[in-house]
Amino acid sequence: MKFIDLDFQYELLKEKISNRLRGVLESGSYIMGPEVLELEEQLKSYVGVGHCVTCANGTDALQLSLMALGLKENDRVITTPFTFFATAEAISIVGAEPIFIDIEESSYNISPEKIEAFLSKLNKDELGKIKAIIAVDLFGLPANYAKLKKICQDYNLFLIGDGAQSFGGEVECKKTGSFGEISTTSFFPAKPLGCYGDGGAVFTDSKELADLVRSLRVHGKGKDKYDNIRIGLNSRLDTIQAAVLLEKLMIFDNELHLRQKVANYYQQNIGDGYIKPSIYDNHMSAWAQYSLRCKAGDARKSIQEKLNAKGIPTQVYYKIPLHLQTAFRDLMYKRGDFPVAEKVSETIFSIPMHPYLKREDQDLIIEVLNQSV
Ligand SMILES: *Cc1c(COP(=O)(O)O)cnc(C)c1O
């Protein structure tokens, strides 16, 4: 059994993808070929925003977004400590400082209430340094954007959505990627919509921001890449990856539906010995991961071993919350600062989740889980 089965999907799309790739190879347009523009058109209408700009990966998508918003040294950006490292890394790369705020125990996403409590205690000088919030849609579940938007309006902050795990997720029938000033996603192979290498994208309704990201991804180009009007990056999506994504996008809604079916079956049949994902009303997760917590605090290791003995792979996302990562030691956070993120990181684990997970495999996973507590 595989944790994420990319081979099955490849078998399904083999011929179509091979034809697309042959087309790119024979065209010679390896960089910014027509497939890249076609993909950007399709992604922007899928997400329902004015502009989509693809780039080299989801981390660059965050960095490009922060650069386009003008974030730099001495600025501060609020984000969650319970995410993949790249979310906060991008803040540091542009010279700004991540400010971590604890998560909600129910959704594992950043807590709007805790952000408000934090902001309400700051003086005017301190408030002036805080420029943005990066919300992360952890495991595919969109963050609480309604509340986050209100806070951003009240405190005059930019809202950035890190949708690396949530492409396809929805709030009240609106897709992730359409909530903040600017949002990002990743096409890393294991994400809900993945390519066969690295890839990413930025979404925004602002033409000004989209134009800035288009310039920034090609060395801060002006008229062309030999006219450089700002410092940027080299961060384009390869034509080959765009070609792969065009084929995968065609079956993506069906895959979302299949993921939802797997999630529903887990939700209904995994017993009460576990804390299962809770999804806010009107929200639809993209189910990048299906993650559980053991009610008995120290049982994770033995449950993972029992699953492993039956050939069922598991993963822990994330063992070390970001405020305790060595790379952020200079920020001077310590154990105990974010008790919810810390507790969750000690008890959570993820079980196999992908659109092609067989019912008999789901049954085995559920049986072993329910016998283990
Ligand atoms: C994967 C991921 C990223 C980074 O995406 P890459 O394409 O690997 O650079 C950023 N944020 C989150 C939450 C992620 O899961």
Structure confidence at residue 373 (pLDDT): 87
Which of 4, 80, 87, when mutated, tests ligand 1's pocket best, judged by the most ligand atoms within 8 Å of its CB? 87
Atom of ligand 1 at shortest distance to CA of 188? 7
86 token code pair: 């790249």
184 token code pair: 């990002």
Structure confidence at residue 298 (pLDDT): 82
Nearest residue CA, atom 2 of ligand 1?
164
| Run of H or E including 306 | helix 300-309
Q: Buried b vs exposed e over 238-258: b needs ≥16 C-beta within 10 Å?
A: bbbbbbbbbbbeeebeebbeb
The amino acid present at 341, given as its one-letter code, is A
For residue 317, which of 159, 60, 170, 103 has the smallest C-alpha distance?
103
Atom of ligand 1 at shortest distance to CA of 59? 9
pLDDT digits (tens, 9 = 90+) for 223-273: 998 999 999 999 999 999 999 999 999 999 999 999 999 999 999 999 999
What is the 8-class DSSP label of residue 267? H
Q: Is the distance from the beta carbon of residue 86 to the nearest atom of ligand 1 less than 6 Å? A: yes
Average pLDDT over the chain, rounded to whole? 97
- C-alpha 6/C-alpha 214 separation (Å) is 31
Cross-strand partners of 135: 161
Q: Buried b vs exposed e over 141-171: b needs ≥16 C-beta within 10 Å?
A: bbbbbebbbebbeebebbbbbbbbbbbbbbb
Q: Is the distance from the beta carbon of residue 362 to the nearest atom of ligand 1 less than 6 Å? A: no
- C-alpha 5/C-alpha 161 separation (Å) is 27
pTM passes above 0.95: yes
Report how far ligand 1's centroid is from the alpha carbon of 133 (Å).
Answer: 17
Q: Is the distance from the beta carbon of residue 166 to the nearest atom of ligand 1 less than 6 Å? A: no
Q: What is the mean pLDDT of residues 94-118?
A: 98
Structure confidence at residue 295 (pLDDT): 85
pLDDT band at 96 (very low <50, low <70, confident <90, very high): very high
pLDDT digits (tens, 9 = 90+) for 144-181: 999 999 999 999 999 999 999 999 999 999 999 999 99
Nearest residue CA, atom 6 of ligand 1?
58
- C-alpha 344/C-alpha 167 separation (Å) is 24
Ranges assigned E (strand) in the chain: 51-55, 76-79, 97-100, 130-136, 158-162, 170-171, 174-175, 182-186, 200-204, 274-275, 283-284, 290-294, 348-351
pLDDT digits (tens, 9 = 90+) for 350-365: 999 999 999 999 999 9
Instruction: Please answer whether residues 159 and 65 qualify as being in contact, where contact means their C-beta atoms are separated by less than 8 angstroms.
Output: no
Cross-strand partners of 55: 200
Q: Is the distance from the beta carbon of residue 164 to the nearest atom of ligand 1 less than 6 Å? A: yes
Structure confidence at residue 205 (pLDDT): 98
pLDDT band at 67 (very low <50, low <70, confident <90, very high): very high
What percent of the chain has pLDDT above 90?
Answer: 98
Atom of ligand 1 at shortest distance to CA of 165? 15
Structure confidence at residue 297 (pLDDT): 73
Structure confidence at residue 83 (pLDDT): 98
pLDDT band at 296 (very low <50, low <70, confident <90, very high): confident
